[in-house]
Chain A
């Protein structure tokens, strides 16, 4: 028995800090194809170990292997590659636009492109995502116009949100993309409510909730799991574990034991853990969860294991809290490179065609950017009107707001 003494306070620390050598040797990465694929009506108790493993399809040689492989055609995969490359190019241009002062703020998806791009292709039209600020791939992969995204980022005269929202807080009911809010985790329980409503209405549509590793610590994460579990809501509960919540490593939200996926087990929710940088695995797992939800079998929790390769936002400098080369050491690699290699392995792609596609995509993004900038940027050109500041708060403007609008000179 340990000797009782003074208590010691425990604060988890990442293994490596700036100046150190990145080391992921203690992150166990199962072999691609090694995790079984259960039937969608499996008893959640029988697949508890899936919450502690990682479902992977693409192996080191770029081959798709195992029971989760074989769900997508060449055309679908080529389209997926294009979506991811488009998101990356979009990110790079908008990052630069922020540095040029054309907008106040931006957040990249670098390294996480597979998660939202592949997931979107597993949903149907009419399903509703409740995204965080790092799932713009849901819009790109649903062919939402890039110009409209940029108009929102620039808060210009064509901004669909009339300049009221911080850049990247998009909203599109038509594209199954719920209005993004700045406060974390609130959308997680709202997604469950939307799914409950679909079930109450005898509909066939399902919802998808999104959250990052850090925000799982918020109380609304717990609320969502309780409600999803209680009412067997047709919802997919996604956790994007990119290892970092701004400067805090995932151990601050999770502690030293278990996985984020394992949090679902206590609620009786089947939980899967998947290689978030493997387009095929993300899609396969999302499809499995969507079919479960549509078959009225209830919620599924999915943890996407990935790495936030870029800064948290344009206001962040990761070199202050993690080694610069850490993303290069990340054992699950780069989602774009891995899908590219797979397509080359399949014989439907080549380095030349990839380079050509990169050029074409960049041109498309630049064309969209030029069009968006013709409508103005944050500090130059066309703007939303001051009238737009007062309108749209209530369905009908109440008297006190009319008075204030008048005082503002409008």
Chain B
């Protein structure tokens, strides 16, 4: 047991998985010798050799396509797309191939791959280093989509994803790589070493896919969040004094509907928060499910706080990023509705 950053926890997960199963291979742009632009694969090539951890050409479709072929052979590739913003060239391979291989071949071939990609904003990443494309994955039948919010979960979820027999999109909020972030960009950040969830167990353990967790118990309103927004939501609750119950979804698909429904039935109110753009975002799915399953328990319309329906800007970072003030206003609005 030691305090680790999310980067170290993710690296630890791959280290553990590679150590236990020689079918696990890790590759992507700059992940080999150099250890990744975010250092998530540092030391893995030296430890496991070039045939287990290697650099790939700059070709996202090639990386995912090759991984699918390897999985069809019987390996368990865990590949990296340098930024989620650059997954689009691989979208064909992910949606039409990885997602459907088991189904279309009736189990003759399967695709146990993990595609890791740093996601989210709050880092002055501009248009192509800040995107949150999760809704483009949750809409695809056959994929699983995971977004951890802390080192402890990141390790357990990533090991679970690597061991999962189906393709998993593993979105890593890069804003959380070195410490939790509640949207207060003007305050110094706290490193993971000062945070309880930076406590990462040694060796092998898993956090099951498809299970949400309550980060802040409360009775007034349910906040559905994942990734960086978990901390923003917690900060908003503290700052408004509203007794919000903050649920960290962890896995978007399959979704832990039971935990959501139980909470909303208790609170009668629900606010959905994500960094991704509003229209047709994953929040729309969450709202629909809450409305379908909790209609007679709702005391106010379900509200959403999300990124604006614009490309992610550079200079206007903090007017775009849904920070604690905006989330707080939604909490107040739903309590007053």
Contact = CB atoms under 8 A, between A and B. Distances in A.
B102 A227 contact: no
B69 A219 contact: no
Contacts of A219: 61, 89
Contacts of A201: 73-75
Contacts of A182: 96
Contacts of B57: 226-227, 230
Interface string A116-129: 00000000000010
Interface in B108-156: 108-110, 141-142, 144
Interface string A205-230: 00100000000000110111011001
B254 interface: yes
B66 A196 contact: yes
Contact of A227 (B59, B96, B110, B254): B59
A194 B69 CA distance: 4
Contact of B75 (A186, A200, A395): A200
Contacts of B67: 193
B70 A197 contact: yes
Interface string A169-187: 1011100001101110010
Contacts of B100: 181
A198 B102 contact: no
Contacts of A395: 102, 110, 164-166
A10 interface: no
B257 A399 contact: yes
Contacts of B74: 197, 201
A105 B73 CA distance: 30
Interface in B38-91: 51-52, 56-57, 59, 61-62, 65-70, 72-75, 89
Contacts of B61: 189, 219-220, 223
B106 interface: yes
Contact of B102 (A165, A188, A192, A393): A393
Contacts of A179: 101, 104-105, 108-109
B255 interface: yes
B109 A186 contact: no
Interface residues of B, number: 45
A186 B65 contact: yes
A400 B253 CA distance: 9
Nearest to A177: B108
B93 interface: yes
Contact of A189 (B62, B108, B141, B166): B62
B68 A190 contact: yes
A234 to B, nearest CB: 12
Interface in A361-410: 392-395, 398-400
B69 A226 contact: no
A183 to B, nearest CB: 5
Given A219-B89, A395-B110, A191 B105 contact: no
Given A160-B106, A178-B72, A392-B102, A183 B166 contact: no
B317 to A, nearest CB: 33
Query: For chain A, which range describes its interface: under 10, 10 to 19, 20 to 34, or 35 or more residues?
Result: 35 or more
A166 B68 CA distance: 21
A190 B59 CA distance: 13
Nearest to B167: A394
A161 interface: yes
A227 B66 contact: yes
Contacts of B255: 399-400
B104 A181 contact: yes
B25 interface: yes
B107 interface: yes
Contacts of A186: 65, 92-93, 96-97
Nearest to A161: B106
Which of A192, A226, A398 has the largest number of chain B CB atoms within 10 A? A398
Contacts of B144: 394
Nearest to B107: A392
B295 interface: no
A242 to B, nearest CB: 24
B210 A398 contact: yes
Nearest to A186: B97
Contacts of A197: 25, 69-70, 73-75
A194 B25 CA distance: 13
A83 interface: no
Contacts of B107: 392
A130 interface: yes
B62 A227 contact: yes
A207 B108 contact: no
B104 A220 contact: no
Nearest to A384: B106
Contacts of A181: 96-97, 100, 104
Nearest to B90: A223
A393 B65 contact: no
Interface centre among B107, B164, B255 (most CB of A within 10 A): B107
Nearest to B58: A226
A195 B75 CA distance: 11
Best-surrounded residue of B97, B106, B165, B255 (most CB of chain A within 10 A): B106
Nearest to B255: A400
Nearest to A389: B103
Given A179-B101, A207-B69, A394 B166 contact: yes
B136 to A, nearest CB: 17
A164 interface: yes
Interface in A224-275: 224, 226-227, 230
Contacts of B103: 164, 392-393
A56 interface: no
Contacts of B257: 399-400
15 contacts: A128-B73, A179-B108, A179-B109, A181-B100, A186-B96, A190-B68, A190-B72, A192-B65, A193-B68, A199-B51, A201-B73, A227-B62, A393-B102, A394-B102, A400-B257
Given A179-B108, A193-B66, 10 more contacts: A161-B104, A164-B104, A165-B104, A172-B108, A181-B97, A186-B96, A190-B72, A197-B73, A219-B61, A226-B62
Interface of A: 128, 130, 160-162, 164-165, 169, 171-173, 178-179, 181-183, 186, 188-201, 207, 219-220, 222-224, 226-227, 230, 392-395, 398-400
Closest 6 CB pairs of A and B: A193-B69, A193-B66, A189-B65, A223-B62, A190-B69, A398-B254
